[in-house]
Amino acid sequence: MSTYKELRRQALSDPEVRAEFERLNREEFALLDQMLAARHAAGLSQAQVAERMGTKAPAITRLERALASGEHSPSVDTLRKYAAACGKRLVISIA
């Protein structure tokens, strides 16, 4: 049985798969940049955002780290709560 890392390495050896993976990661990095900018503009720590969202600081750390690594995509509800905690609102568009 193959491990996740082996399967990922195999999949990314295909140029088409790699191109799509990189495209998705750019989008997630852009989202992470916006989230971090909103948090910093609000002058909030991860713990403060967590408190406003009704969760714990490690959950915010995992959320931000997951976006940075491309391992997880948060739900729209989670993004909405994060934005609200930073005094912003979530706007989603398809271009």
The pLDDT tens digits of the residues spanning 50-94 come to 999 999 999 999 999 888 777 778 899 999 999 999 999 999 988
- Expressed in angstroms, the distance from the first to the final Cα of the chain is 40
With respect to residue 14, please indicate whether it lies within any of the assigned structural domains. Answer: yes
Encoded tokens for 88:
């912003």
Q: Which residue has the higher pLDDT, 24 or 48?
A: 48
In this prediction, residues 41-58 reach a mean pLDDT of 97
CA-CA-CA-CA torsion sign (46, 41, 83, 28) = negative
With respect to residue 90, please indicate whether it lies within any of the assigned structural domains. Answer: no
Is 70 exceeded by the pLDDT of residue 24?
no
- Tell me if 11 sits within 8 A of 17, measured CB to CB: yes
Residue 75, domain extent: 4-85
With respect to residue 43, please indicate whether it lies within any of the assigned structural domains. Answer: yes
Instruction: Output the CA angle 24-47-41, nearest 5 degrees.
Output: 65
* Those residues with Cβ within 8 angstroms of residue 67's Cβ, 6 or more apart along the chain or in another chain: 28, 29, 31, 32, 35, 73, 74
The structural domain count of the chain equals 1
Find the CATH number of the domain harbouring 9: 1.10.260.40
pTM, entire model: 0.72
With respect to residue 93, please indicate whether it lies within any of the assigned structural domains. Answer: no
Q: Which residue has the higher pLDDT, 19 or 84?
A: 84
